[in-house]
Structure 1
Amino acid sequence: MMTDIEISRAARLRPIADVAADLGLPADDVEPYGRHKAKLTVPPAGGTTGKLILVTAINPTPAGEGKTTTSIGLADALVRTGRKAVLALREPSLGPCFGTKGGATGGGYAQVAPMEDINLHFTGDFHAITSAHNLLAAMIDNHVHWGNALGIDPRRIMWKRVLDMNDRALRDVVQSLGGPANGYPRESGFDITVASEVMAILCLANDLDDLQARLGRIVVGETRDRRPVTAADLKADGAMAVLLKDAIKPNLVQTLEGTPALIHGGPFANIAHGCNSVIATRTALALGDYVVTEAGFGADLGAEKFFDIKCRQAGLVPAAAVIVATVRALKMNGGVAKSDLARPDVDAVRRGAANLLRHIENVQAFGVPVVVAINHFATDTAEETAAIQAIVAARGVRAISCRHWADGGAGAVELADAVAALADAPSQFRLLYDDGLPLLQKVDRIATAIYRADGIAPAPAVVRQLAAWDAAGHGGLPVCMAKTQYSFAADPALLGAPVGHVVPIREVRLAAGAGFVVAICGDVMTMPGLPRTPAAEAMRLHPDGRIEGLF
């Protein structure tokens, strides 16, 4: 059996100019990066007429779910069935690539390519975002060093630096040691680039003008009398936009079957809003009749933020949703150890299906019709698959066994037909909460309605800060919950569909440029650490120059 990287290398990719031409894009709007990658320089005119299909999932487990793989297989299947489909995904972060996940371009015969390029430096977007973010950090410290005309309180500088790599040692640092020439010593730290507000801004901006306006609204700290200081106050927004002028252009690649894919932006869904860029999504909707996109991790995080942040801000209307589940993951939710997952256990599947049912209920609460994709593994039995289908059928939902990993788009044709039928019906989409609800009540609404918590336990400083932001005019912003992806609760050990729990809110952050407030729950970190055995340990260069160990 070939590995993912071997399958990708064996594929005969089409010249990217041909992929763009099939979409009706003139050559002047396509900026090639070699033979198989390009940036689109001008979003096409003509409106967004395609149907938007969200792929989401149950809570992730070590057993694997395959949300990206399913997104790719579904797009390929839509094309196979004669429909004009475009894929719209996020870019992988180097942190997980060298940490736990390895690559993030799908798997088996449902991949986007060129796999190595996309998983590593791609077209340099993350580098540009990192540079723009850190330029602002440098300009803050430089302003304080040269007289501090704005009166910034060094104790209240909120803007950390970022790096696109998991590195727990950088979470908390003391900077500017070594004497007056190096600035004022203070405590600070690093976040991972995907958690940067600049990443969120690039992904939510409508165009370059909107990008610079949002960059200018970033609040970097406060003065001693608690007045906010912004990037525009520091005159940093123009230079940051200069660094992002190419990064804002969507990237065009293809699947192994030649289906066009726009891969752009990459905020994590556990600590950021978890969706690809608005510009890429709108471009795809103007180019295709069906657009398949995904939101990170389980539907409690990615889908909720996709609906309540991205769709709210961009005016997008999702037509249908696919919830990905596996027999193996449901058995883990049902109490089976990872080492025992190959053994048939229908009862464990039934117990673990509580997690899937809750995600179905949550997505349906937004008025979005749902189909379940059972991502097939070789160890699945017919009885286990039938149990899932019967359980969700009792809720009026279809569950379809899909074999796109092994068979590409041919293995997801039944799913494609079911999704298209749902997407072609009139939309009943609605948001979870109104803009005018106070910020603390928005946090509580998400915790109680989506996580099924009994309530929230905010720190006293959190309550005061949210009230202050309400009073300062930020109360109309949506909330971005930063929470463990492994559970509906803030405790990652609570699998299945826990109830009776309380969600602790330890910190809140204002992302005024991105247009949301971040609520940090429990022990979740905005700078991940590497695992005991990082994926990087298996990576090396073959004597012929090929990459080995990237999967």
Structure 2
Amino acid sequence: MSYKSDIEIAREANKKPIQDIGAKLGIGTEHLLPYGHDKAKISQPFINGLKDRDNGKLILVTAINPTPAGEGKTTTTVGLGDGLNRIGKSAAICIREASLGPCFGMKGGAAGGGYAQVVPMEEMNLHFTGDFHAITSAHNLLSAMIDNHIYWGNDLEIDERRIVWRRVMDMNDRALREVVVGLGGVSNGFPRQGGFDITVASEVMAILCLAVDLKDLQKRLGDIIVAYRRDRSPIYARDIKADGAMTVLLKDAMQPNLVQTLENNPAFVHGGPFANIAHGCNSVIATTTALKLADYVVTEAGFGADLGAEKFMNIKCRKAGIAPDAVVIVATVRAMKMNGGVAKADLGAENVEAVELGCPNLGQHIANVKSFGVPVVVAINHFVTDTEAEIQAVKDYVDSQGSEAILCQHWEKGSAGTEELATRVAELADSGLSQFAPLYPDDMPLFEKVETIAKRIYRADEVLADQKIRDQLHAWEQAGYGHLPICMAKTQYSFSTDPNLRGAPTGHSVPVREVRLSAGAGFVVVICGEIMTMPGLPRVPSAEAIMLNDAGQIEGLF
């Protein structure tokens, strides 16, 4: 049996005018700022008027560690949102915007798949409403103003060796990781070493996704530490007088984007910090707005639960004052087999033993998420090659972990394939069982917070960090930043920092290479192992297959 590609399905979507989608949530036409006919931003005055409304129920979708077999977390998020609407609930979904880097690199699109997609798929995966371009511009305006300040006399006495603000672009380009700027003589400034990160790793991206309004946004932008003086005292973006202009550039980007699923249900798509190097959640303003407008809000956190869900709980929920009422962990039979040692080429053959060998990865995620005090259900994202015996093996294992697994066929059947999951999730969300609490208190010392995550979430024996890193964390505590949460930057492919270590490894160590203070976003980034803040393209990038066909339609996005 042949199946249509994601882009073919998206192209055939029966989209409704975005005003009709807004009307489902009670958003008047005058409060929607349309970008074409099928996407719009929601105005800040309208959002401000929602403050006194009660919140709906918040449902987090997370997953096992990603494998080349694919898990389908966004697809399940969309399918569950459609499923809740199908059983008569008022539900909205909240997901992140796609970065051009992975879109043209390895991953392709990020709008779901099959019959569980958000549309317009092409625009969402490309320029969308220009938010990422605005973030890139705001970030690089600050970069330009730092070098300009030094050029015109350096009144702030910036130590050029201690400029910590890099430049960004939304593309995977390894050649820009380390660069030298200011070459070419007196008129071009002072030569110094610099570098680029990908836009989704920018602190400006994290700030946009954590700010509650424009005033909060400008304060956080002003709090960014850009450099240090020779006496190690910090210099902030507000000292450079860049925070006002950066806020102006981000004024429209701050407003959440509204689009629709294939089944014409509302979807908020806003913000896009990477989960392996940033906090990996859509914006606080989109989630809190959705909670005021829908009875159930389904949102996702990036990559596996060891990264995305941990940061959702410890950073986003802590900062936004929200808590999940239920959590869905997405798993696939194929991924269980890969965790059980089966090569990708051999995944089509039934192998119940390998499924059982791979299940401990799922088990550790279940235990971790439960440790936050929230009820958990597992969604088995169905593939046509899955056999009854393999599916039953996953269900039996999850039962043994004190949870339950539900087979979902949303990729093939849309909301008809998630009715059972939607019904159970709504029951859990309404049950009042959630007793959410973050993993660590604000006042715990920074290094102890790192150790807590490493030992309780990754099941590591120890954190390896030299004295220089420990001294830096202590200095930040002395400077008043000890209350901040930790944002771990590590590989998404394993609980450990070794991407090849699958399953549920124990007895490993977590080496800390570098720590960065994101004073504006309000967290400390702890970089572990070989993680890159500017990815590179693979040997055969997705970009090679992306093109326009004779009809002027985009081909190759998936």
Task: Please classify the TM superposition score into its range, dividing by the shorter chain length.
Answer: over 0.9
Cα separation, 2, equivalents of 1:47 and 1:502: 46
Distance 2:236 2:103 in 1: 33
Q: How much has 1:120 moved relative to structure 2? A: 0.2
Q: CA deviation at 1:122?
A: 0.2
Structure 2 stretches of 5 or more lacking a match? none
1:14 maps onto 2:16 in alignment? yes
Match in the other structure for 1:41: 43
Q: Using the alignment, how far apart are the partners of 2:140 and 2:53 within structure 1?
A: 35
Pairwise CA distance, 1:464: 1.1
Matches within 5 A, 1:113-132: 113-132=119-138
| Conserved 8 A contact 1:48-1:283 | no
* Structure 1 residue aligned with 2:473: 466
Letter in 2 for 1:549: G
* AA matched with 2:112: G
For residue 452 of structure 1, the aligned residue among 426, 448, 459 is: 459
**Aligned match of 2:195:** 189
CA distance in structure 1 between the partners assigned to 2:151 and 2:230 by the alignment: 16
The answer to whether the 8 A contact 1:459-1:507 is kept is: no
Q: CA deviation at 1:459?
A: 2.7
Cα separation, 2, equivalents of 1:414 and 1:22: 24
The answer for the alignment partner of 1:63 in structure 2 is 69
Partner of residue 169, structure 1 = 175
Say whether the 8 Å CA contact 1:75–1:292 is kept in structure 2: yes
The offset of 1:89, in angstroms, is: 0.5
SS at match of 1:34: coil
1:37-94 C-alpha deviation (Å, 9 max, x unpaired)? 0000131513341000000000000000000000000000000000000011100000
1:502 paired with 2:502, answer no
Q: Is the 8 A contact 1:252 1:263 kept in 2?
A: yes
Identify which of 260, 269, 272 aligns with 1:254: 260
Instruction: Provide, for residues 256-301 of structure 1, a one-character-per-residue CA deviation record: whole Å limited to 9, x for no partner.
Output: 0001000000001000000000000001000100000000000000
Q: Aligned to 2:418, what secondary structure does the other structure show?
A: helix
The answer to whether structure 1 residue 29 and structure 2 residue 31 are counterparts is: yes
Give the corresponding residue for 2:442. Answer: 435
Amino acid paired to 1:488? F
- The corresponding residue for 2:544 is 537
**Distance in structure 2 (CA, Å) of the matches to 1:543 and 1:409:** 33
| 3-state secondary structure, aligned to 2:153 | coil
Q: How does 1:40-439 map to 2 (within 5 A)?
A: 40-42=42-44, 43=47, 44-45=49-50, 46-426=52-432, 427-439=434-446
CA displacement at 1:460 relative to structure 2: 2.4
Q: Deviations over 1:5-55 (max 9, x none)?
A: 010011110100011011111222111111100000131513341000000
Q: Measure the CA separation in 2 of the matches of 1:128 and 1:192.
A: 14
Q: In 2, Cα distance between the equivalents of 1:234 and 1:195?
A: 22
Tell me the distance in 2 between the aligned counterparts of 1:283 and 1:332. Answer: 39
Which amino acid in structure 2 is aligned with residue 3 of structure 1?
Answer: S
Describe the SS at the equivalent of 1:416. helix
User: Which letter maps to 1:13?
Assistant: K
Residue deviations 1:225-249 (CA, integer Å, cap 9, x gap):
1000000000000000000000000
How many residue pairs get aligned? The number is 551
1:207 maps to a residue whose letter is D
Q: In the alignment, which of 525, 529, 546 is matched to residue 518 of structure 1?
A: 525
Q: What amino acid is aligned across from residue 41 of structure 1 in structure 2?
A: S
TM-score (norm. length: structure 1): 0.99
Which amino acid in structure 1 is aligned with residue 7 of structure 2? I
In structure 2, C-alpha distance between the alignment counterparts of 1:49 and 1:214, rounded to whole Å:
25
Q: Which moved more, 1:536-545 or 1:32-41?
A: 536-545
Give the whole-Å Cα distance in 1 for the aligned partners of 2:243 and 2:494: 38
Question: In 1, Cα distance between the equivalents of 2:546 and 2:411?
Answer: 23
Deviations 1:116-145 (A, max 9, x none): 000000000000000000000000000011
Matched position secondary structure for 2:27: coil
What is the alpha-carbon distance in structure 1 between the residues aligned to residue 21 and residue 327 of structure 2? Answer: 26
- The offset of 1:187, in angstroms, is 0.8
Distance in 2, matches of 1:459 and 1:109, equals: 50
List structure 1 runs of 4+ shifted beyond 4 angstroms.
none
Q: What amino acid sits opposite 2:63 in the alignment? A: A
**Of 19-28 and 470-479, the range deviating more from structure 2:** 19-28
Q: Match for 2:215: what amino acid?
A: D
1:5 equivalent in structure 2: 7
Separation of aligned partners in 1, 2:476 and 2:91: 42
Q: Supply the distance in 2 between the matched residues of 1:2 and 1:323 (Cα, whole angstroms).
A: 27
Equivalent position of 2:492 in the other structure: 485
Question: 1:481–1:521: 8 Å Cα contact kept in structure 2?
Answer: yes
* Amino acid of the structure 2 residue aligned with 1:543: D
- Matched AA of 1:440: F
* 1:168-213 CA distance string (max 9 Å, x none): 1111111111111111111110000000000000000000000000
Q: Tell me how far apart the structure 2 counterparts of residues 144 and 128 of structure 1 sit (CA, whole Å).
A: 25
Q: For structure 1, which segment, 120-129 or 22-31, has the greater mean C-alpha deviation from structure 2 after superposition?
A: 22-31
Q: Is the Cα–Cα contact under 8 Å of residues 490 and 521 in structure 1 kept in the other structure?
A: yes
- 2:534 paired with 1:527: yes
Alpha-carbon deviation of 1:542?
A: 1.2
Paired AA for residue 164 in structure 1: D
Offset, 1:455: 1.0
Residue 354 of structure 2 aligns to a residue in which SS? helix
**Structure 1 residue 543: deviation in Å?**
2.2
The 2-side partners of 1:274 and 1:383 are apart by 35
| Deviation at residue 151 of structure 1 after TM alignment | 0.3
Residues of 2 paired with 1:330 and 1:242: CA distance?
47
**Stretch moving more, 196-205 or 535-544:** 535-544
Q: Distance in 2 between matches of 1:369 and 1:404?
A: 22
CA-based RMSD of the aligned residues comes to 0.7
Letter in 2 for 1:97: C
Please give the per-residue CA displacement for 1:419-452, whole angstroms capped at 9, x wherever unaligned: 1111012220011000000111101110000000
In structure 2, distance between residues paired with 1:66 and 1:100: 15
Which sections of structure 1, spanning at least 5 residues, go unmatched? none
User: The residue matched to 2:325 in structure 1 has which SS?
Assistant: strand
Encode CA deviations 1:440-494: one digit per residue, 9 max, x unaligned. 1101110000000001001322111101001110000000000000000000011
Q: How far does the alpha carbon of each residue in 1:309-358 deviate from its partner, in whole angstroms, 9 at most, with x for none?
A: 00000100110000000000010000000010001110110010000000
Report Cα offsets for 1:355-413 as digits up to 9, x if no partner.
00000000000001000000000110000000110111112211011000000011000
